Structure 1
Amino acid sequence: MHRRHFLRFTALGGGALALGSLGFWRNVYATPPRPASGPGPYGLMASAPDANGLLLPRGFTSRVIARSGDVVPGSQHPWHMAPDGGACFRMPDGGWVYASNSETSPDGGVSAVRFSPRGEVKDAYRILSGTDVNCAGGPTPWGTWLSCEEHPRGHVWECDPSRPGQGVKRPALGTFTHEAVAVDPVGRRLYLTEDTSDGRFYRFTPAKWPSLDSGTLEAARVVGDVFQGAKVDWVPVSPEAPASEQPAASESTVFRGGEGCWYDGGVVYFTTKRDNRVWALTLVSGRLEVLYDAARYPGSPLMGVDNVTVSRAREVFVCEDGDDMQLCLLTPDRKVTPFLQVVGHPSSELAGAAFSPDGRRLYLSSQRGIDGRGITFEVTGPFRSQAA
């Protein structure tokens, strides 16, 4: 197997890490990088694609849930173009909903697929219309989907994934080229990425939790070496314009092309595409680390970092925008490995990776598919439920 299919990654910093409430990433970077002695936790990908064009590890299967422009089987709803960021939501009947953004203009918005407790598609419908370039977003602890518009005057829209409807604009979360948002239910704050070359990393503190009507928006200021463990403090900014356009722009730190953002276990993970990095901010300490930097690992399988999610086993899954269309994962035993690969989609990108509430199914999309029409997949198999 080619070296890019798995590469050990460590030595990003000299000290031990203490990320998350359980110190999950402690000592991840204890040894120098070297080729891994074996595949990732799920084994090697198959040598040939399945019927849906996916290379998967042994024991995993795929099915196509939806194709852009076609009616979702089991519903009367045509699936949107350019499916992007997504998340799953548990429903009272034991089923779940997968919400998916549409990164198009005009009329991007969000669609959703409703599943029964057994995983059959029961319905599909729109939960947001009339918005532009809805790229990524994030789920809230109270069961709504925050959809982010990726353009200079973009906003965040809060949507109810449980039924057809129209989202509510949340201007207090800022006016900028939004990408993704992660909600910290313990500290009661939101963290947001901005997808521009001079973007910032933002924090929003609601005036009255969990209402997003008003609150304080701030941009991160990083002090120290991010490869050794830097500290973050916060600079108040106006929600009416990007931080880079405000008088205090020089007081905040530039993050080069913010992409995916996900909260798990007291840590906010996010990616920046222009320097191919995966970051981790430990909220209790304000400590910021670079978990992965492609420039430090020539031949690594992970390039074009984009959407990110975390499994029940605290594996960090990262979608690739382009490259060889892999979904890669970062594991605590110092490996970056590909989990799956979509074959034959050379002009597309992976997006919207999200686990079902029980952790047994993974959803993701090839945004432009083979012919410009997106394809949304479900992957089922023996995903690990606990951290090793």
Structure 2
Amino acid sequence: MSATRRQLLARSGALGAGIAFSGALSELFAGTAAALGHSGYGPLVPDPDGLLDLPEGFRYRVLSREGDELRSGEGPVPSNHDGMAAFAGASVGRHRRVHLVRNHENRATAKLQVPTVEGLTYDPMGKGGCTTLTLDERGKVLAERVAIAGTAVNCAGGPTPWGTWLTCEETEDKAGTNGYTKDHGFIFEVDPADPHRTGAVPLTAMGRFQHEAIAVDPRRGIVYETEDAFQKPFGLFYRFLPKKPEGGRGSLRAGGRLQAMRVPGVPDLSTIQETGATFDGIEWVDVPDPLAAQTPIRLQDFGPKGITHAQKLEGCYWGGKSVYFVSSFARSAEGSAADHFGQIWRYDPGARRLTLVIVFGPDTDVQLPGEEPDNICLAPTGGLMVCEDGEGAQHVYGVTRRGEVYAMARNRQNIGTPEKPEWGEFAGVTFSPDGRTMYVNCYTPGTTFAVTGPWHR
């Protein structure tokens, strides 16, 4: 645990404490199935193999681990498994195959880079990218290959309504930095079935900044983007107005207009602490230089009214008629205007209204030491699945409509020592199109799991 975080917890009286939620949880689940009527599936059962603890009745399969050989023969499975999504594949009889697209958040120092492949490589010096896995109806891995290479720090992203994956570079490094031969900080589109149909083309009009995640408004075609900037001033929340809002593979290459969100009178979202706080008349301001040729976007001149910042803008998803985005935490010691343990915001584009829906905070249950929400997805049974990215034990948590929090999985892979154990974060939680399998990554050591069991119990 870092000194900064320990001091913050101590000041709040919550050292070693757990996770709690306040707010209108029902807002998050529009269009999902009925929520579980209880707080989860029971206690986690220790895994005798020391990989993944799950509730009784659930089981996992390891689909892929870093260092193993890709089934394509292109090289070893890369490191740092991060954002991920599942897509319906071709039908074989009565069954559909599933494509998993998986990010690799590799920096210049990464040990196992995404292998470079002709036609799929942006910058030969970039070590990040995506790999895809194709599964049959029983969950068996049929194929595993490179989907895009030569990118950098591919953190999260998001699926499009037309069945492709947008992978996001969480860096602002330009050509000549860290050995790169091209500028980085872009979004790239990946076709999960045939990556050569999308290639390695940066969607430059969508901005060059420390991207985290995206969500697409399926009716308007607008793409919302989060920025996880590491230094003050922190990141912005963006929307991209494409020239071809009808969408389709390759449509985002036609360009469009990038704008940043301004909440009148609120320069820093961390100062808003009460759930239900609502702001009408949200403004969207054109980004002066989306390519950030000289100045990072968050430092550019947005006029005398300024722009609205937030620390650790991460997960982003579309639900019902709104887009939701996550601020994992805010720390005044690092430059935020106020402290918090995590927020979920809801923006309603029809009403131009922003609402603080959920606040994460310390509770008294030491068995759930969770905070700092990162990747989030809607579960087909109703509720949320939240990947924890903090210190200590690392979990995937479930949250019901009633606000009940339960541990769904715990990472047992110790990357520290027996005396000082450490566990890698979870990332990329997603569900198969039929809702029967949860897929999730362990970031370090890079491991992709498929979890099946009595989800509708």
**2:180 match:** none
Aligned counterparts, 1:6-85, within 5 A: 9-10=21-22, 12=23, 40-46=39-45, 48-51=46-49, 53-72=51-70, 76=73, 78-85=76-83
What is the alpha-carbon distance in structure 1 between the residues aligned to residue 438 and residue 138 of structure 2? 15
Report whether the alignment pairs 1:207 with 2:219. Answer: no
The verdict on how the C-alpha distance between 1:340 and 1:376 changes in structure 2, with shifts beyond 3 A counting, is same
Q: Indicate if the aligned counterparts of 2:86 and 2:100 stay in contact, CA closer than 8 A.
A: yes
What is the alpha-carbon distance in structure 2 between the residues aligned to residue 118 and residue 5 of structure 1? 40
Deviations 1:66-91 (A, max 9, x none): 1111125x654532111110101111
What is the alpha-carbon distance in structure 1 between the residues aligned to residue 19 and residue 167 of structure 2? 34
The verdict on how the C-alpha distance between 1:338 and 1:244 changes in structure 2, with shifts beyond 3 A counting, is same
1:185 aligns to what SS in structure 2? coil
TM-score (norm 1): 0.84
The verdict on how the C-alpha distance between 1:200 and 1:377 changes in structure 2, with shifts beyond 3 A counting, is same
1:319 aligns to what SS in structure 2? strand
**1:216 match:** 257
**1:342 match:** 411
What is the alpha-carbon distance in structure 2 between the residues aligned to residue 348 and residue 86 of structure 1? 16
Report whether the alignment pairs 1:278 with 2:352. Answer: no
The one of 222, 228, 236 aligned to 1:189: 222
What is the alpha-carbon distance in structure 2 between the residues aligned to residue 173 and residue 314 of structure 1? 32
> Aligned-residue CA RMSD in angstroms?
2.9
Deviations 1:295-333 (A, max 9, x none): 464656431221111112341211112432101122210
Q: Indicate if the aligned counterparts of 2:215 and 2:323 stay in contact, CA closer than 8 A.
A: yes
The one of 345, 363, 376 aligned to 2:439: 363
Report whether the alignment pairs 1:156 with 2:191. Answer: no
What is the CA-CA distance between 1:159 and the residue it aligns to?
A: 1.0
**2:106 match:** 104
**2:302 match:** 248
Unmatched runs of 5 consecutive residues or more in structure 1: 29-37
The verdict on how the C-alpha distance between 1:60 and 1:50 changes in structure 2, with shifts beyond 3 A counting, is farther
What is the CA-CA distance between 1:336 and the residue it aligns to?
A: 2.6
The one of 379, 383, 387 aligned to 1:315: 383
- Which of the pair has more CA radius of gyration? 2
Q: Return the letter of the residue paired with 1:159.
A: V
Deviations 1:242-267 (A, max 9, x none): 43121107532111111121222223
Q: Return the letter of the residue paired with 2:351.
A: S
What is the CA-CA distance between 1:6 and the residue it aligns to?
A: 7.6
In the comparison of the two structures, how many residue pairs are matched?
A: 363
Q: Return the letter of the residue paired with 2:236.
A: R
Unmatched runs of 5 consecutive residues or more in structure 2: 1-15, 108-125, 173-183, 267-271, 331-341, 415-421
What is the alpha-carbon distance in structure 2 between the residues aligned to residue 133 and residue 124 of structure 1? 20
1:109 aligns to what SS in structure 2? strand
What is the alpha-carbon distance in structure 2 between the residues aligned to residue 219 and residue 296 of structure 1? 31
Percent identity (aligned): 35
Q: Return the letter of the residue paired with 1:221.
A: R
Q: Indicate if the aligned counterparts of 1:101 and 1:135 stay in contact, CA closer than 8 A.
A: yes
TM-score (norm 2): 0.72
**1:34 match:** none
Q: Indicate if the aligned counterparts of 1:278 and 1:290 stay in contact, CA closer than 8 A.
A: yes
What is the alpha-carbon distance in structure 1 between the residues aligned to residue 32 and residue 69 of structure 2? 45
**2:117 match:** none
Q: Indicate if the aligned counterparts of 2:33 and 2:380 stay in contact, CA closer than 8 A.
A: no
What is the alpha-carbon distance in structure 1 between the residues aligned to residue 316 and residue 48 of structure 2? 30
Q: Indicate if the aligned counterparts of 1:57 and 1:339 stay in contact, CA closer than 8 A.
A: yes
Report whether the alignment pairs 1:261 with 2:316. Answer: yes
The verdict on how the C-alpha distance between 1:352 and 1:21 changes in structure 2, with shifts beyond 3 A counting, is closer
What is the alpha-carbon distance in structure 2 between the residues aligned to residue 18 and residue 291 of structure 1? 7
Q: Indicate if the aligned counterparts of 1:318 and 1:328 stay in contact, CA closer than 8 A.
A: yes
Q: Return the letter of the residue paired with 2:215.
A: A
Q: Indicate if the aligned counterparts of 2:317 and 2:323 stay in contact, CA closer than 8 A.
A: yes
What is the CA-CA distance between 1:164 and the residue it aligns to?
A: 4.5
**1:35 match:** none
Deviations 1:18-77 (A, max 9, x none): 56756999xx9xxxxxxxxx962323322x2253521212221101111111125x6545
The one of 135, 138, 150 aligned to 1:118: 138
2:298 aligns to what SS in structure 1? helix
**1:376 match:** 448
What is the alpha-carbon distance in structure 2 between the residues aligned to residue 239 and residue 58 of structure 1? 50
Q: Indicate if the aligned counterparts of 1:95 and 1:118 stay in contact, CA closer than 8 A.
A: no
**2:176 match:** none
What is the alpha-carbon distance in structure 2 between the residues aligned to residue 155 and residue 88 of structure 1? 22
Q: Indicate if the aligned counterparts of 2:31 and 2:319 stay in contact, CA closer than 8 A.
A: no
What is the alpha-carbon distance in structure 2 between the residues aligned to residue 103 and residue 116 of structure 1? 27
